[in-house]
Amino acid sequence: MPRKISTDDGRAALAAVAAADLPARAQLATAVRYLLQLLAEKAPGNSVEVRVPPFGAVQVIEGPRHTRGTPPNVVETDATTWIALATGSQTWTDAVAAGRILASGTRADLTAVLPVRP
């Protein structure tokens, strides 16, 4: 992540997204990046890449590191689903069952590290 998002800015963005039916793109981007930042702090590593296009991606979970090309373990989802997963308002199992997550690889299950913020 290029710059660290402060706790105050992250929480403000999350509150704004929760309060709005259609949040501003900047608030949505900050909320997504803040939660990705928390995930990277909670589960440091390089074996799983978590992508929330177009807002951000992080590598997390200890294990084998990849150096080039597409990593073998990838999780990709949309911003709304990511926020729901990271805050605990949706479970990993429910999101997978609903087809809201694309996950590949043997380590691409984030159940053990979600939510990142209660």
Confidence at residue 1, expressed as pLDDT on a 0 to 100 scale: 43
Among the listed residues 58, 59, 37, the one whose alpha carbon sits nearest the alpha carbon of residue 46: 59
Under the banding of pLDDT at 50, 70 and 90, the label for residue 100 is very high
> Which pLDDT tens digit goes with each residue over 71-95?
789 999 999 999 999 999 999 999 9
Do the beta carbons of residue 103 and residue 114 sit within 8 Å? no
pTM, entire model: 0.92
Residue 3 has pLDDT above 90, yes or no: no
Under the banding of pLDDT at 50, 70 and 90, the label for residue 96 is very high
> Which pLDDT tens digit goes with each residue over 17-53?
999 888 999 999 999 999 999 999 999 998 999 999 9
* Both tokens assigned to 93: 């199992």
Sign of CA dihedral 54, 67, 58, 71: positive
3-class state of residue 59 by DSSP: strand
